[in-house]
Amino acid sequence: MIKDSHRIFQGFKIIVKNYGFRESFFVMGRSLGSFSAIELAYKYQNEFQGLIVESGPSNNLMQYVSSMVPLNHPIWRDDSTFLNKVKLRSISTPTLIIHGEQDSLIPADEGRELYENSAAKDKRLVIIPNADHGDLFIIGKEQYYKAIREFVKDYS
């Protein structure tokens, strides 16, 4: 998935150029998709106006989700660039992190940890009250869309 994101982004840039669209890119990843979004921002941060992470894990959760990689594998070390929080330490692109307060799959503390590890000068954390993993854009509809709209407007 992460490897494919590079190819998709390169192809997307060609489409944008061929159709004459303005090259003002934001990358957004939700949950597992945050790995691809953060990877792209990590590798191509000068090409993005902003990074948006919704309900993304910072590190520890993936240890419990993945049964194929032993817990003592180097991929889980605190300095492993596989971890979202480690990559965020090198990303200066403006960053918006949105998370549900009651997320039962990826706890809100994971979102807070992403925020704390972000190297962006402009970073924003939006915790949607009473929202779980899959309903934060419904439970906190106004707050959710307002945060994205204002973030994109500020950096477009």
Lowest mean pLDDT among 75-84, 103-112, 118-127, 143-152: 75-84
Q: Is residue 143 over pLDDT 90?
A: yes
How does DSSP assign 27-75, residue by residue?
EEEEGGGHHHHHHHHHHSGGGEEEEEEES---SHHHHHH-SSS-TTSGG
Structure confidence by residue, pLDDT tens digits, 8-63: 999 999 999 999 998 889 999 999 899 999 999 999 999 999 999 999 998 755 55
Q: In this predicted structure, what is the pLDDT of residue 114? A: 96
Return d(Cα 36, Cα 142) in angstroms, integer. Answer: 26
Return d(Cα 57, Cα 106) in angstroms, integer. Answer: 6
Q: In this predicted structure, what is the pLDDT of residue 58? A: 85
Structure confidence by residue, pLDDT tens digits, 53-111: 999 998 755 555 555 666 666 555 566 566 788 999 999 999 999 999 999 989 999 99
Q: What is the pTM of this model?
A: 0.88
Return d(Cα 90, Cα 72) in angstroms, integer. Answer: 25
Q: Residue 124 — very low, low, confident or very high, per pLDDT cuts 50/70/90?
A: very high
What are the domain boundaries of the chain? 2-7+21-155
Domain spanning 2-7+21-155 has what CATH number?
3.40.50.1820
